[in-house]
Amino acid sequence: MKVIDEHRSFGGWQRRYTHHSKTCGCDMTFALYLPPAAEHDRVPVVYWLSGLTCTDENFVNKAGAQRVAAELGIAIVAPDTSPRGEDVADEDVYDLGQGAGFYVNATQSPWSTHYRMYDYVVTELPDLLADRFGEQVDLSREAIAGHSMGGHGALVIGLRNPDRFAAISAFSAICNPVAVPWGEKAFSTYLGDDRKAWAEYDASDLMAHADHGAALPPVLLEQGLADGFLEEQLKPEALEQAAEKAGASVEVRRREGYDHSYFFIATFIDEHLRFLARYMGV
């Protein structure tokens, strides 16, 4: 693993790393913000998963999260959104292939060779953090967040691993991917025709079929009402209905005038990090 970029920020360090991933079978990149508190204590960790066409840099450069992360004393880890490289399968479209991993473990050829983003985020990346940054980050205190496709990833990973993640935050999340064009396209390509396999990566389905009163992580979902993808692709109402059925804690904040962009994320990221920090015991 090597550092490819670093910047001092609000007394802490914003760095980018590259390493060879056994899970994805290629070199992967992730960003890590370590707050000043990490210089003398182990700090809790928030994983941020970005959306379609993004890399590990979008959130780091646009959200303005470092200030409040430094104040709260939390680390933020932002992995890339897919495997990449000349040998990695791709399509000449924005919503499939490189930059569009959908945080699933692909089962269909040629995607299954590299597209194992679920395992990368859930297992390999935390193991790497524990090995290389174990004296600075406390992996017994984790939360997960994301935007759009990454909001879908955060919801699914958090709901499938409720013993790991204290809380889930999402902006403009794809809440019911089995029922929208983005999800149908990605899942049929990566996972094949078995819709039971699709359901394992659908937050609304996972929540609807959870045991009533099960100890699911609390969810805060931020949704702009001027978001052009809201009606066709995102479906927050499906998650709300599933939460009611499961007796789960899901708060959806609908914001007039806000769209799908990082201007929206930057406006409310402080509130979301404080929400996650509270459940991580900060």
Per residue in 111-148, pLDDT tens? Answer: 999 999 999 999 999 999 999 999 999 999 999 999 99
| Chain CA centroid to CA 241, Å | 22
Contact between 44 and 280 under an 8 Å Cβ cutoff? The reply is yes
Average pLDDT, the chain: 97
E-strand spans in 22-164? 26-34, 43-49, 75-79, 137-147
d(CA 79, CA 108): 23
The one-letter amino acid code at 153 reads G
The mean per-residue pLDDT over the stretch 216-225 comes to 97
Q: How confident is the model at residue 61 (pLDDT cuts 50, 70, 90)?
A: very high
d(CA 122, CA 88): 21
Contact between 238 and 194 under an 8 Å Cβ cutoff? The reply is no
Measured over the CA atoms of residue 185, residue 191, residue 194 and residue 197, the dihedral's sign is negative
- Run of H or E including 262: helix 262-279
Domains and CATH numbers, the chain: 2-279 (3.40.50.1820)
Residues annotated catalytic, as ranges: 148, 227, 260
pLDDT the model gives residue 215: 87
Any idea which residue has 């079978």 for tokens?
25
- Tokens describing residue 23: 């899970």
Task: Summarize pLDDT for 62-75 with one digit per residue, the tens.
Answer: 999 999 999 999 99
The one-letter amino acid code at 113 reads T
Burial class of residue 8 in the structure, from the number of CB atoms within 10 Å of its CB (0-12 exposed, 13-18 middle, 19+ buried): exposed
The mean per-residue pLDDT over the stretch 177-191 comes to 98
Question: Cα–Cα distances in Å, from 47 out to 103, 209, 210?
Answer: 13, 25, 23
Residue 37's contacts (CB-CB under 8 Å, 6 or more residues apart) are: 43, 73
